């Protein structure tokens, strides 16, 4: 019987092709294994905020956390600690420096514990509308970012907190009316209480979480804050009067310490930052119109709007003109204060034209 012979050339080519496939498959497997090993330890980021749970700001932070998980294939995990559970903003900054918390959504108050220049954007009666705020912030953004990076923090995006008004226990039309009441200032800020007292006011320092108990016990009578903030924290049940004078633009930002940011793979950073900017741009536009809704809701529950005359408004402006300069070198560093005042004078020129509202940098 004849034995079936094998085509050795075919066997060689078959084995050769299989060998090549095996080498490619093994190489690909090693690459995948290497990638998985590199990603076996996700980067965990704790982000703190005073924003109450369920508030628009808390919701957008949760959306950012989901974006980061999706964009990084669950390798960057952002956990939100809202409602001040980490502490006041001064505590957040301290804990970020120790890497106990890696990131935070801060108001200008919190950001000022890192660099005082940011407070310049919230000077009383500095800007009249959001278009002016956007333009001013765009001019200062490169310098502000540089300052934070020098102090080992990365600004992921700037944010709006709303427009600050005076909310008071008694109707307040003039600075003299406010002098008769005890005003809230942030605990941990060494300058504000002294500056207010220099101008003849009664200032009481408290943490943000102690504002409501302070109002309930009569320790304080007045708060400068945005309508959305006052509504979210339920302060309006006690301070039932809102002076109809936009006092200051409340700005803020989302930041992360440089050490934690550098732990994130470099190729992911631009996408994660872009996600933050996209979300904060949306909430910025929402916040700018939600304040009016907050006022309407609070009015339904007893809030009274205190309108002022042109003469009374002029008294507030005279107060700012007289005492504003003492903020230079104290609440705001000298270089930034001078730069902001120069930009304000530029905006006051008759030939100056603002870009469209909302076109400022993030």
Place 81 in a pLDDT band, splitting at 50, 70 and 90.
very high
Confidence at residue 25, expressed as pLDDT on a 0 to 100 scale: 35
Q: Hey, CA dihedral for 244, 247, 251, 252, is it positive or negative?
A: negative
For 2-51, how does the pLDDT look when each residue is reduced to its tens digit (9 = 90+)? Answer: 333 334 343 334 444 434 433 333 343 333 334 434 445 899 999 999 99
All structural domains of the chain, each given as residue ranges with its CATH number in brackets, are: 42-347 (3.40.190.170)
- Confirm if 87 and 93 have CB atoms less than 8 A apart: no
pLDDT recorded at residue 56: 87
CA atoms of 336 and 321, how far apart (whole Å): 18
**Sign for the pseudo-dihedral over CA of 187, 323, 328, 360:** positive
pLDDT score, position 356: 67
Taking only the tens place, the pLDDT of each residue in 115-130 is 999 999 999 999 999 9
Q: For the segment 246-286, what is each residue's pLDDT rounded down to a tens digit?
A: 999 999 999 999 999 999 999 999 999 999 999 998 888 78
**Best CA proximity match to 340, nearest among 245, 273, 249, 208:** 249
Which pLDDT score, from 0 to 100, does residue 102 have? 98
Q: Report percent pLDDT > 90 for the chain.
A: 77
At residue 40, the pLDDT reads 52
Question: How confident is the prediction for the chain on average, in pLDDT?
Answer: 88
DSSP at 5: P
* pLDDT value of position 64: 98
The mean pLDDT value for 39-67 works out to 91
Closest CA to 105 of 247, 252, 278, 315: 252
CA angle 178, 182, 183 (to 5 degrees): 75
Nearest 5°: the CA angle 330, 331, 334 is 60
Say which residues have a Cβ less than 8 Å from residue 201's Cβ, sequence separation at least 6.
Answer: 178, 179, 183
What's the pTM? 0.82
pLDDT in tens, 127-172: 999 999 999 999 999 999 999 999 999 999 999 888 999 999 999 9
- Beta-strand runs (E) in the chain: 43-49, 76-81, 103-107, 153-168, 182-186, 202-206, 222-225, 241-243, 248-257, 304-306
State the DSSP code for 55: S
Give the C-alpha separation, 211 to 224, whole Å: 12
Question: How many angstroms separate the CA atoms of 281 and 271, rounded?
Answer: 15
């Amino acid at each position: 019987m004849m034995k079936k012979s094998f085509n050795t050339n075919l066997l060689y080519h078959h084995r050769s092709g299989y060998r090549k496939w095996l080498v490619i498959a093994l190489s690909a497997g090693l690459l995948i294994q290497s990638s998985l090993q590199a990603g076996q330890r996700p980067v965990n980021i704790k982000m703190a905020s005073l924003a109450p749970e369920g508030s628009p700001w808390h919701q957008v932070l949760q959306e950012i956390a989901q974006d980061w998980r999706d964009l990084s294939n669950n390798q960057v995990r952002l956990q939100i600690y809202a409602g001040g559970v980490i502490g006041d903003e001064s505590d957040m900054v301290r804990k970020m420096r120790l890497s106990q918390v890696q990131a935070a959504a801060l108001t200008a108050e919190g950001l000022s514990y890192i660099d005082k220049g940011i407070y310049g954007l919230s000077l009383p009666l500095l800007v009249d509308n959001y278009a002016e705020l956007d333009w001013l912030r765009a001019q200062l953004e490169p310098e502000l970012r540089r300052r934070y990076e020098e102090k080992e923090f990365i600004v992921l995006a700037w944010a709006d907190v709303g427009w600050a008004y005076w909310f008071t226990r008694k109707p307040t039309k003039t600075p003299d009316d406010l002098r008769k009441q005890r005003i809230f200032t942030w605990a941990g800020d060494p300058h504000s209480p002294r500056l207010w007292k220099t101008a003849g006011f009664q200032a009481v320092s408290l943490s943000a979480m102690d504002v409501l108990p302070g109002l309930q016990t009569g320790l304080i009578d007045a708060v400068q804050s945005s309508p959305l903030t006052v509504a979210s924290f339920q302060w309006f049940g006690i301070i039932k009067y809102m002076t109809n004078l936009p006092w200051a633009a409340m700005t803020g930002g989302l930041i992360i310490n440089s050490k934690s940011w550098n732990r994130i793979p470099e190729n992911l950073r631009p996408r994660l930052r872009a996600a933050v900017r996209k979300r904060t741009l949306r909430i910025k536009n929402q916040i700018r119109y939600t304040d009016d809704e907050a006022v309407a809701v609070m009015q339904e529950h007893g809030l009274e709007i205190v309108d002022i005359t042109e003469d009374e408004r002029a008294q507030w402006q005279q107060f700012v003109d007289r005492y504003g300069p003492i903020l230079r070198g104290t609440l705001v560093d000298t270089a930034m204060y001078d730069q902001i005042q120069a930009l304000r004078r530029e905006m006051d020129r008759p030939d100056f034209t603002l870009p469209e509202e909302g076109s400022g940098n993030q």
